[in-house]
Chains A and B, each alone.
Chain A
Amino acid sequence: MTAAINPSPGLVPDALAGQKPGSLRRDTLRNVLRQRSAIIGLAFLGFLVGVAFLAPVIATHDPNVPMIGLEQGIKVRMAPCIHLLGCPATQPEHLMGLDGNGRDVFSRVVFGAQVSLRIGILTVGFAIILGTLIGAIAGFFGGKIDNVLMRLMDVLLAFPSLLLAISIVTVLGQSLINAQLAIGIVAIPVFARVMRASVLSVREQEFVTASRALGESQAGILMRRVMPNALTPLIVQGTLGIAGAIIDVAALSFLGMGAQPPLAEWGSMIGIERNAVFAAPHLIIFPGLAIVVTCLAFNLLGDGLRDALDPRLNR
């Protein structure tokens, strides 16, 4: 491929003559890395993934074991104690204090990274798979199928998302898996719409007509020709969707409808201690900051990807 392009002098402006033509993937990567927000997002995300993988090493205590009785001079909801910052050495060190059960908040926040990243990716993965399928089928086949599927999506979109998710969790029962399922179901229409719009525009292009003329099956055209070319907007929407999913599942857990104790999930950590906010704000602030940083990472990355992948937005 590269060998075929060997521009002779004079045909190409001097400024471009020395450049190797890059592959689409490399160009895209370069574009992404040129976006400041994408880099900051990636850095945050890398940090979080690191924390999640190394949680057993980073955590100073077992996240689920109450320290009361194991250590001297502590009490529940104790404020953070950091020896370097002047906390007396006689007191055991707890970087983010203790929660209402006497568990180490720092360790719980660290292990929470595992939980939340998994929640975000699984939930959005589920929504993307179903949404893409629905959107692609609706957009590709059109007509009645399109009408029925998209009206169904309209009905799902007619509810405020959290409210519908709460109703679904009520039906399915309160657990983390069901909360993820509910948020996933609620997110389907967004992906279906994005995919459908994308497929509608790709379907009319000449290479699709060419495949049809060559006798490729409908399913083959959809899977091999249309889908890969319609994925770009989905990547952006998916990245932004992860932030939304993490917030929404955390919200359900906050209301007691998602993660159940003693799992170290940030939303449920805040929900359980929300009445203690005036006496022990650290129980809200640290898990809260963790959610903010995680969502910020995905939002920045999503914005950067959008700017990099959509040349119209470049400025």
Chain B
Amino acid sequence: MTRFVIRRLLLSIPVLLGVVTLVFILARIIPSDPCRAALGEKATDEICNAFNIRYGLDRPLPVQYVAYIGQVLTGDLGTSIRFNRTVADMLVERLPVTIELTIYALLFATVVGIFLGRVSAIRRNSPADTGTMIVANLGVSIPVFVLGLALAYLFAVVLKGSPIALPPSGRLTPGTDVIPLAEAWGLQGLGGFPRATLDFVSNINTFNAILTLNGSLLVDAIRHMILPALALGTIPMAIIARMTRSSLLDVLGLDYIRTARAKGVAERRVVSAHGMRNAVLPVVTVIGLSLGGLLSGAVLTETIFNLTGIGKSIVEAISGRDYIVIQGLVLVVAIIYVVVNLVVDVSYAILDPRIRLQ
């Protein structure tokens, strides 16, 4: 097992290096001069020269590349040209939004997807099965931005005033106070990486609410996350439902299931303990793969529901030609994606001993 993990870790190194290189290349060949894009009409030749020297843009590309790799390895993602803030600061503030959104979406997708797929497989060819598969087929065909806007309209306009009305924008109701964990726990003196980590966790509203036992904050945070999570999670939910169904159907047709039934194991236990244990393998892969889709979809979901997370920040940085922010954020997202895939592979190996031996 350890050997498998180490080999898999080593295999991700060239991919990560490729990712860093591609991000560097993309950021450098963006047309238009970053100086003029950042400073607009104020940009004279003189100012731009100083600007280029300050950001190292006057040096030859290979030199910039080596310097960039060095920066990335030391965890320095640079400073935004437009906002004069470090990318790391922006990450501490905005990545939690994306993570919170992704967690809720993945939770919805996994729980509902596996449940629907399971019902569908057990009651094969019943109306429940047909209905589920219609939902699943519609689910993979509806774009995040269409579903998002439709949900916003339904829950904020049509159902306005009803108990199930939901807010269509933002993370919290305006005026809701969030006390940073550092403050709540009297740790204002903390600095450096531990403080950044604490602030990071603190910015995930759900965690903050739970850790500070703030019930109203928890409810408000969850209410604001329901619509975005539904919009973002529907495609993976549909994929997971289909995968669970076909995988469980495959497994339920195997001999050992017949043996289990023949020796009198209760049907519920046959499906849960014998069937699902083996059927869940491909589902785990699909869940892992869908994370890429979730991170892509976050760009759209955050734009629609006005959540200032990484996705929305990247779109804003692109329109502002803030290439240091683009390069930093895209890199972080790609690294998260590579790491998640690594975790999926390893969990796959834990669930299925045969993988390790290959």
Contact = CB atoms under 8 A, between A and B. Distances in A.
Given A255-B315, A288-B142, A292-B146, 9 more contacts: A151-B18, A158-B338, A170-B326, A173-B31, A243-B141, A250-B143, A270-B145, A284-B149, A299-B137
Interface stretch (B89-97, B152-160, B270-278, B344-352): B152-160
B143 A291 contact: yes
B144 A251 contact: yes
Interface of B: 14-16, 18-19, 21-23, 26, 29-31, 137-138, 140-146, 149-150, 152-153, 156-157, 168, 246, 249, 253, 292-293, 295-297, 299-300, 303-304, 311, 314-315, 318, 326, 330, 333-334, 337-338, 341
Interface of A: 37, 151-152, 154-156, 158-163, 166-168, 170-171, 173, 243, 247, 250-251, 254-255, 267, 270-271, 274, 277-278, 281, 284-285, 288, 291-292, 295-296, 299-300, 303, 313, 315
A296 B300 contact: no
Contacts of A151: 14-15, 18
A162 B292 CA distance: 9
A271 B296 CA distance: 17
Contacts of A274: 145, 149, 304
B31 A162 contact: no
Contact of B137 (A167, A278, A296): A296
B192 to A, nearest CB: 30
Interface centre among A167, A250, A255, A288 (most CB of B within 10 A): A167
A251 B141 contact: no
B334 A159 contact: yes
15 contacts: A158-B15, A158-B16, A158-B338, A160-B293, A162-B299, A163-B311, A167-B326, A168-B26, A170-B326, A250-B145, A270-B149, A274-B145, A291-B146, A292-B142, A299-B141
Nearest to B246: A313
A156 B26 CA distance: 12
A155 to B, nearest CB: 3
A293 B303 CA distance: 24
B256 to A, nearest CB: 18
Shortest beta-carbon contacts, A-B, top 5:
A155-B18, A162-B296, A288-B146, A295-B141, A160-B295
B125 to A, nearest CB: 11
A161 B146 contact: no
Contacts of A284: 146, 149-150, 153
Contacts of A161: 292-293, 296
Contacts of B26: 167-168, 170-171
A166 B337 contact: no
Contacts of B318: 166-167, 170
B292 A254 contact: no
A251 B330 contact: no
Nearest to A290: B146
Nearest to B130: A36
A216 to B, nearest CB: 33
A154 B292 CA distance: 13
B153 A278 contact: yes
Contacts of A254: 143, 145, 300
B87 to A, nearest CB: 16
B140 A299 contact: yes
A300 B297 CA distance: 22
A285 B314 CA distance: 27
Contacts of A250: 143, 145
Contacts of A291: 142-143, 146
Contacts of B143: 247, 250-251, 254, 267, 288, 291-292, 295
